[in-house]
Every structure is written in structure tokens, then in C-alpha cells.
Amino acid sequence: MPGTQMDVQNGVAVISLHNPPVNALHPSVLQGLFNHLREAQARPDVKAVVITGANGRFCAGFDINQFVQASGGGGIDDRINESFCDLIESGPKPTVAAVQTMALGGGCELALACNARVCTPGTSFGLPELQLGIIPGFGGTQRLPRTVGLQKAVEMMLTSTPIKDRAALKLGLVDAVVPAAQLLEAAKQMALDIAAGKRARVQTLYRTDKLEALGEALPILHFAREQTVKRARHLTHPLLCLDAIQYGIEHGGRAGLQKEVECFAAAAALDTHKALVHIFFAQRSTKKIKGVTDAGLRPRPIKRVAVLGGGLMGSGIATACVLAGIEVLLKEVNQKFLDAGLGRIQSNLTSRVKKGRMTESAAKAAMSLVQGALDYTGFGNVDMVVEAAIEDVKIKQEIFAELERCCRKDAILSTNTSTINIELVGAKTTCPDRILGAHFFSPAHIMPLLEIVRTNATSKQVILDTLELSTKIKKTPVVVGNCTGFAVNRVFFPYTQAACMLVDMGLDPYRIDKIVAGFGMPMGPFRLSDLVGADVGLHVGKNIIDSFPERSYPARIIQLLNEHKRLGEKSGRGFYKYDARRRAAPDADLVPLVQQSRKDAGLYKESSPPPKMSDQDIAEFIFFPVVNEGCRVIDEGIVEKAADLDVAMVMGMGFPAFRGGLIFWADLVGADYICKRLSGWAQQFSGSPLAGFFKPCAYLEASARQGTKLSAGKGAASKL
């Protein structure tokens, strides 16, 4: 049961938070804390109080589960802030926080309310509430600026980025950093020193020495607001956070606390908060696979990986591995390609050094983990192979047959194919249980998602080991079933196809891109097509069309771009034209291609006006077919749960996290509405092959009819 414990020794009451694994502030922990504080403040044998966390961790903040269970901010109100002021910051006896490992969110706010803080090396301090769609609610908007200065506090809150012990010491967020074994003693001594008047008792809420003068503070806040509107124009809660900070600066910390409560409640009422909390838990639940992670197996460590192919993908995968300390054997077909592959890994590492993300010596150490190879010598030593050769079934089949001969009998054999059936890839082997897809997204050392594609034959152990690898190389894994496009590319195929259809219907591609970016995607479908390359688009599109001909729109414009060598960014022209710095601009030369595509499609006559469609119509025309395909993927069991698809869409395609992922968003819109709109378009195109593109699938229809949530999963919506 979550709670607190109190132990009084030599005049100091040590109160520890207990709620494994991260001592989150569950209401019963807060209740226990306040009860113990009241007791300690009243007891004559207590001179001072130390607050710490059990099991080597201080606290990761308010219990986020409460936001799911209780609506409207999980029951956070101004009574908690009053207790922080009256029992921790300004009670009769001084308080010191003894912090290990982490003080995040409410945990950091708790530490800030104490009169001093001591921590262990490596501890992180931060207020990451904004990443959950809320703002700090236990006084962080007031106490952090008064501790580290406004500029730094605003940066920490708006970016949700924690700082480490050394930086915290420099900024005055902690008073001392001591080894773990000395933490409690140091904190107790500091508390007694404050009680004895040997050390000043700091009540942060009333401090002004670290705050910039009003004339300096207001421009900082103004600039932060401008930047927020520019970078996160869909989000309100960062502005609410700035409102609370500003109010406190103008009216004092105590009034600021009141404003913080109001702003917190306003943020907590928004869908953004619900969506981001959903993503927080969904991201953690992708690692829990029924029948695999609960099967009592232990993951085998992967220390050596062979990567086949040193192209963009292979070199990115190799980079991700060496960054995690994994040895890599990079194989290429000839010395020239091998040198190019090694060069790419080196330049990935150099770029990290330039950005200050790693030291030169760390980059050198990482590069030393890579060994080049032109044949399969050395493959007998690897724990796993990731094949990233060209997308050709025959070549892949030969490679896998060779891998079975050269690798250990327990080595995992994976392919990074984005389109080819995994069973086909392994067809010429006798070890289907060791074969799976490890589908990385480009650039593989940066993109956070790893689709782990299992076939019916892939063993639990192999899936478990690959899950472990994903954690090691800092990727979020999503385990998916084997089908064309797997989860991400399959669900997203209607995205580009619907956008191309709109162009063929007479709409301007640049308007479409603007609307889709306005929806929250990092870029519109045409800008994305240019980034990926029209040649890649054509190749992937062909696979999709071959697999799902009854619901595909063969986008002629992509073919025309290929014919005219307008492959996108890499060739300087695609839907857009690009300058030397790869900045995109609309291109008038695209017009003849668009006209040709429209002529071929026969959906629009140049002499008539384009159809009248609002921005919302356009967004729905593009995203609702994507939802429809997502429903099929859930229904077919390609993903284990809808939340996995949400994570895959956010991390693989940049679907806005603040909308909670594809299916979470679709449920907010409503299955019934989506189904009606799709049926309307299917009707509009009835008699033409396009009707199939929009036809609602059985799962969506059943959800709409029965009023069940799309996220409820397979079986929830009976198709009868």
C-alpha cells in the first residue's frame, strides 16, 4: 500500500515516501506525508525534518494513474499547496529533502518546498509536467524561478528537460551533492544546522534574489510566449504555464500559487492532457506482450550484431547499436560500399559530437566497436543479424539461407524490410523460429520506433530478446504481426493516396500540405513524399496496391514525378523545389504534371472549378481512410492493442502526440461520425473503383453501430 514511514532519531524526523517503483505521489502518499509532518511539527523531541524516498529513488511526481482514474486533474487542488506552504516550507520546524536518483514533477516541487536539498551524484531534477499536457501544480511555477532564475526555469518547464546534480548545484537547486551512503546523515545535519540557526532557513516562495527584475522578466516571458506560439501552435497548456509564472512575478509567490491552481485546472480539462497521459502509458505498455513477457523467460543479452548493408538504413542501425555499446560487424558486397558505409557511421557520430551530444573520445570509442566485413567470416560470433540489403525477395532469401549456414544455431536473424513478407524472406531456411522483422525508421539512429514483426513461427524467446535490444538501443518497440506494410506503412498508405486523389480532384497540393501540417503532422503528405523520395514512394506504393487492390488509389502523380526525375529533396525537385540548403518552395513547373495526372485520373475537368472543401473536409478526407485501415489492423490482430498502434503512429509517422495517436483521436471524433463520412464518400464514388478506398471496414461499422470505442479492441465490437 503506498504511504510514508517516519523514524525519529536524535531530534530529526526522517519521513520516507513509499510507492515503488518511483514513489509517485499517490493521494495516500500525500496523506501519509502530511499526517507525519503534522506529527513531527508537533512533537517536542523533533527539531527538524528530513524528507526522502524509499528504495534509492526520491520521487517521480504526482501519481499519473490518478489522471486516468479521476477526471479534471486527478483531485489536485489548493489544499495540497497550502500543506506544502504550512507544513513543509514555513512550518515550525525546518525541512530538508534528501534526494536520490530523481526528483521530477511533484517530487521536484516537494523538494523545492523544503528549506534545503541534498542529493546523490547522477540525480535528475525537473518539471516535465508539460509533456503530460498539464503544468506544475505543487508550486513549481513559483518556486523554480525563485530558485534558479526565470530564464532557466522557463527553459526547464517549457522543454520538460531535467537537469543533473552538478548543474543543479551550480544553479542553487541543491545545496550539496554527497555519496549515497552519506545522504541521510548529510541531510539530517543540514536540517539540525538550520534548526540551530547555523544555516539560513530559505523559504523559496518569498525569495526574490534569483528573480530577474520586472523590466527584464517580462520580455523573457514575452519571448517565451512568442516561441511557444510559433513552435507549438496547437498547444494551450504551455501558455497557461507562462501565465501562472507571470502572475507570481507580478503579484508575489503566494498569489502565484492560486493562479497556478487555476491554470492547472484549465490545462487538465483539455483533451491534450488526456491524450498525452494516454501516450505516456501506451508507450510503456508496448513492452508488455501477452504470452511473451509474462512467460517466465529471461532475455538473452545481445552484445554483437551483424548488419548487412551499409546504406542509409544499415549505417543508421549500426550507429544505434554502437551508441549502446554493442559491437557491430558491418558487411557490404565490396570495399567501395563498405568504406561508404563505415563513413556514414563515422559521420553520424561526428554530427552528434558537433551538436554537443557526445564527446569526441566517446565517438571514437563507439566507432572502434565497428568492424567491416566483405564475407560471412565472423558471423559465427554474433548474437543477432539485421539484414538491410536491397528490397529484393530473391536476394534476401539467398542471404538468409547463407546466414543459417554461417551463424550460431541460436542467433536471431532479422530483416529490416519495410515491404516484404517476413515468411517469404526466410522461406529458404529451416529456422523460422529465429526469424523476425526488425523494422527501423529512417534515420535509424534518430527515429525512436522499432517495429518488431513476428510471424506465427517466431519464438517467444526471440521476440523477448529483440524487445530487450530495443530498450538497450533506446527505441520504443511495437510488436506487430506479419502483413504488407506491417503496422505503420500499412495504416498510412491511404494518407498519401487520399492526398493525391484530392489533387486529381482539382485541389492545390500546397494547400493540402498546409492543412495537414496545421492538423499537427510534422509536414504535409507531399513534403513527406519529397523527403522519402518519389522512387521509394512508387516502390512501396506498388506493394500496397498489389496487396490491397480493392482499396488502393494508384497515384499517377507519383509515377509522373518518377518519369520526370523529380524524386524530391535528393534530386532538388519533387512536389517542391529545393535550394542548396534544402529549403522547400512551391514550384510552378509542377503544374503540367498535376494537369497530366488530373487528365489521366478523370476526376476533374480543368474547365470547371475545383470542389468546395473546407480545411476540415480535407483533413477528414485524408485521415479518416487512415483510421479505417487502422481499424483493419486492430481487427486482424496485427497489433495486440489499439494503444500500440497509437504509439507506432506517433513515433513512426509523426502523428501528433497531443492528439493521443490515431485511434485515441478517432475515438474523440467518434466512430459513428467517421463511419458516416466514409460512407458518404464511398457513395459519392459508387460504381468506380474508388468506392472501395472509402468503404468503412466491418470493425469500424460495428463500433459505430454499437457505440463501442475503436480502442476497445478486437472482440469489443461484434460484427453481427
Q: Which residues are known catalytic residues?
A: 109, 129
- Closest of 297, 217, 296 to residue 251, by C-alpha: 217
Strands 124-126 and 449-454: unpaired
The piece of 17-25, 199-207, 432-440, 661-669 that touches ligand 3HC (CB under 6 A) is 17-25
- Of these, 91, 94, 136, 426, which contacts ligand 3HC (CB under 6 A)? 136
Among the candidate windows 129-137, 223-231, 242-250, 313-321, which touches ligand 3HC by CB under 6 A? 129-137
CB 77, min distance to ligand 3HC, A: 11
Q: Which of 284, 405, 474, 605 binds ligand 3HC (CB under 6 A)?
A: 284
Cβ at position 14, least distance to ligand 3HC in Å? 23
Of the pair 101, 414, the CB lying nearest ligand 3HC is at 101
Rounded CA separation 275/663 (Å) = 11
Identify the residue among 53, 91, 105, 477 touching ligand 3HC (CB under 6 A).
Answer: 105
Comparing CB distances to ligand 3HC, the nearer of 479 and 702 is: 479
Q: Does 139 contact ligand 3HC by CB under 6 A?
A: no
Residue type for position 444: A
Give the shortest CB-83-to-ligand 3HC separation in angstroms: 13
Among 34, 58, 62, 658, which residue sits at the site for ligand 3HC (rule: CB under 6 A)? Answer: 62
Residues in region 447-466 near ligand 3HC by CB under 6 A? none
Could you say which residues in the range 219-278 bind ligand 3HC, by CB under 6 A? none
Does 32 engage in binding with ligand 3HC (CB under 6 A)?
A: no
- Which triple of cell numbers denotes residue 328? 557491430
Give which of 106, 217, 224, 108 is closest to 155, Cα–Cα.
224
According to the binding rule CB under 6 A, does residue 61 interact with ligand 3HC? yes
CB of 21 or CB of 602, closer to ligand 3HC:
21
Out of 21, 44, 602, 609, the residue judged to bind ligand 3HC by CB under 6 A = 21
467-526: which residues touch ligand 3HC (CB under 6 A)? none
H/E/C letters for each residue in 493-538? HHHHHHHHHHHHCCCCHHHHHHHHHHHCCCCCHHHHHHHHCHHHHH
Burial class of 54 by CB neighbour count within 10 A (0 to 12, 13 to 18, 19+): middle
Kindly indicate which of the ranges 105-113, 403-411, 514-522, 675-683 contains the residues binding ligand 3HC, using the contact rule CB under 6 A. Answer: 105-113
Give residue for cell 497515384.
Answer: 555
CA distance 316 to 320: 6
Burial class of residue 612 in the structure, from the number of CB atoms within 10 Å of its CB (0-12 exposed, 13-18 middle, 19+ buried): exposed
* 46's grid cell: 523533533
Angle, vertex CA 686, rays to CA 683 and CA 689, nearest 5: 130
CA pair distance 217, 210, nearest whole angstrom:
11
- Rounded CA-CA distance 600/34 in Å is 73
DSSP state of 101: S
Least Å distance, CB 652 to ligand 3HC, is: 20
505 burial (CB, 10 Å; 0-12 / 13-18 / 19+) is middle
Nearest residue (CB) to ligand 3HC, 138 versus 694: 138
Residue closer to ligand 3HC (CB basis): 92 or 121:
121
Q: Which stretch binds ligand 3HC (CB under 6 A): 99-107, 340-348, 509-517, 653-661?
A: 99-107
Q: Which of 15, 50, 129, 260 binds ligand 3HC (CB under 6 A)?
A: 129
**Of how many residues is the chain composed?**
720
Distances (CA, A) of 565 to 54, 444, 561, 572: 63, 26, 6, 10
Cell numbers for 397: 532469401
Residues near ligand 3HC, by CB under 6 A: 21-22, 24, 60-65, 76, 102, 104-106, 109, 128-129, 132, 136-138, 140, 284
